[in-house]
Amino acid sequence: MSKAELHIDGKIIELPVIEGSEGERAINIENLRAETGLITLDPGYANTGSCESSITFINGEEGILHHRGYSIESLADNCSFLEVSYLLVKGHLPNAAELEAFTDSILGHTMLHEDLRLFFRALPKDAHPMAACSAMVSALATFYPDSLDPRNEREVEISIHRLLAKLPTIAAYAYKHSVGQPFMYPDNSLSYVGNFLHLMFANPCEDFEVDPVVEKAIDLLLILHADHEQNCSASTVRLVGSSHANLFAAVSAGINALWGPRHGGANQEVIEMLGAIADEGLTGKQFVDRAKSRDDTSRLMGFGHRVYKNFDPRARIIKKATFDVLERLGVNSRLLEIAVELEELALKDEYFVERNLYPNVDFYSGVIYTAIGTPENMFTPNFAIGRLPGWIAQWLEMHEHRHKIGRPRQIYTGETNRKIQPIAER
Ligand code: CMC
């Protein structure tokens, strides 16, 4: 094993260098403070590995994404979302019998407890569905107090199946509540995605048929969002889980982290940006100039990534799927035209080139969601449904490995040794 040397205060400290299965290297500083009294400072954790993991590999320089050793392109071409979920959670692709048992179990848990359905009534109509999703997932812990022990394998398994089954129902009810429509009960004869579409768009007064083009498109989008190693929400799930909080609590925290516009909330922001450009009659160039300006806080939403300094491979797949789906549905999209124009301008612009800013997963996803009739405030809940198996896999892996409670340190920069003045003298 190679070692790095740290020369500090006249001493030389040897630090082990570890190497991952794809050749990534890291300096292990686990014993640094014990040996030197020093800590490392890394705002935003841009250089910090928080764990070793065998779930997802990303090479951001080359635009590569693998789950459990399979490329995202091959998973998107060959698997369903539930197969990919199984792969992430269990570590291997299911055989036919395993997939059938997994699917049956999940479809068997799609219904919510009637009292949980009533919870939605207490929410304001304009509540964002992400807030509703996080609240309801947290509330699941109140309905299943007997299966919250993170160290009990059977309890964990049932919580995993409940979560995968119920999050689409919760998300659809959040939407139904926002538009004042009756909640539908799940139809377990439908596929996982077909059932989600039924819960979102069916109503008791009319027949509803799942459109296979839409069903396939959503399944693909869920696959593309299924995991992304130690991003903000996955790290949140791990951090909360590290205190041995139950799975529902950790996932609810992950949903909140995902909601932010620099993370999953960007998909809604992209479509709002494209809509505003269309409404205000701006040219692509005017908006790109705005995103570059230091005097304007606008960013080109859907561009840039902490890890990808090249094309996000998910963006390539979504862009192609967007054109396919629009053609199959016979839809012309002004928003797609604007997105293509912005992408072309940004990829040639020195500002974006210098900073390695490329389209990310969120850049085209809003256009495809819009084309298949998904309301804007449901884009990020769709992301959450897709990311759920990843969060679960990260939470499980953390519990399988030796782990400490997550607890970063800091460098204190405040006042020192102050004396309290009597209140009359302050
Ligand atoms: N538009 C304009 N400028 C940008 C953008 C953008 N989209 N992204 C980064 N920059 C600039 C930023 O101003 C900074 O410039 P300077 O060095 O002159 O100060 C430089 O590029 C580096 O940016 P950063 O914020 O330090 O980079 P980061 O790695 O911390 O942030 C990011 C990554 C995704 C938060 C950021 O690129 C961003 O805000 N993008 C827009 C939001 C977005 O699309 N988020 C979705 C991410 S992918 C899906 C997901 O994770 O959920």
pLDDT tens-digit series, residues 73-96: 999 999 999 999 999 999 999 999
Least Cα distance to 272 among 179, 370, 361, 133 occurs for 370
- C-alpha 266/C-alpha 303 separation (Å) is 9
Neighbouring residues of 136: CB distance < 8 A, sequence distance ≥ 6:
116, 119, 120, 170, 173, 174
Dump pLDDT digits (tens) for 206-253: 999 999 999 999 999 999 999 999 999 999 999 999 999 999 999 999
* Range 307-332 average pLDDT: 91
Nearest CA to ligand 1 atom 30: 306
Which pLDDT value is given to residue 196? 97
How many Å apart are CA 185 and CA 207, to the nearest integer? 14
Calculate Rg over the CA atoms of the chain: 23
Q: Is the pLDDT of residue 311 over 90?
A: no
The pLDDT value given to residue 297: 80
DSSP string, 67-83: ETTEEHHHHHHH--HHH
Q: Which of 237, 308, 358, 360 to mutate to test the pocket of ligand 1 (most atoms within 8 A of CB)?
A: 360
Check 128, 305, 312, 349 and give the catalytic one. 305
Is 362 one of the catalytic residues? yes
Cα 135 to Cα 120, 254, 334: the distances in Å are 10, 12, 36
Instruction: Give tens-digit pLDDT for 129-161.
Output: 999 999 999 999 999 999 999 999 999 999 999
Cβ atoms of residues 147 and 247 within 8 Å? no
Q: Amino acid letter at 420?
A: I
Q: What share of the chain has pLDDT > 70, as a percent?
A: 100
Does position 1 have pLDDT exceeding 80, yes or no? no
pLDDT for residue 402 is more than 90: no
pLDDT digits (tens, 9 = 90+) for 32-46: 999 999 999 999 999
Instruction: Decide whether any atom of ligand 1 lies within 6 Å of the 299 Cβ.
Output: yes
Name the active-site residue from 362, 399, 401, 403: 362
Is residue 211 part of the annotated active site? The answer reads no
Q: Is 58 in the pocket of ligand 1 (CB under 6 A)?
A: no
Confirm or reject: Cβ of 301 under 6 Å from ligand 1.
yes
Residue 2: pLDDT over 80: yes
Largest Cα span, the chain: 80
294 band by pLDDT with thresholds 50, 70 and 90 = confident
Does 263 sit in the ligand 1 pocket, CB within 6 Å?
yes
Per-residue pLDDT, averaged over 319-332, amounts to: 89
Closest CA to 227 of 414, 376, 91, 48: 91
- Pocket test of ligand 1: the residue of 233, 357, 383 to mutate, having most ligand atoms within 8 Å of its CB, is 357
Flag whether the pTM goes above 0.75.
Answer: yes
pLDDT greater than 90 at residue 373: no
Give the mean pLDDT of 297-325.
91
**Range 178-194 average pLDDT:** 96
Q: Cβ(270) to ligand 1 under 6 A?
A: no
Cβ atoms 195, 107 nearer than 8 A: yes
In terms of C-beta density within 10 A (0-12 exposed, 13-18 middle, 19 or more buried), how is residue 224 classed?
buried
Task: Identify the pLDDT of residue 130.
Answer: 97
Order of strands, sheet of 64-67, starting from the edge strand that comes earlier in the sequence: 56-59, 64-67, 70-71
Nearest CA-CA partner of 339 in 273, 396, 407:
273
pLDDT, averaged across the chain: 95
Does residue 390 line the site of ligand 1, with CB under 6 A? no
Please report the DSSP string for 225-268 in residue order: TS--SS-HHHHHHHHHHTTT--HHHHHHHHHHHHHSTTTTTHHH
Pairing state of beta strands 64-67 and 25-27?
Answer: unpaired
Q: 263 C-alpha vs ligand 1 centroid, how far in Å?
A: 10
Among protein residues, the one with the nearest Cα to ligand 1's atom 41 is 301
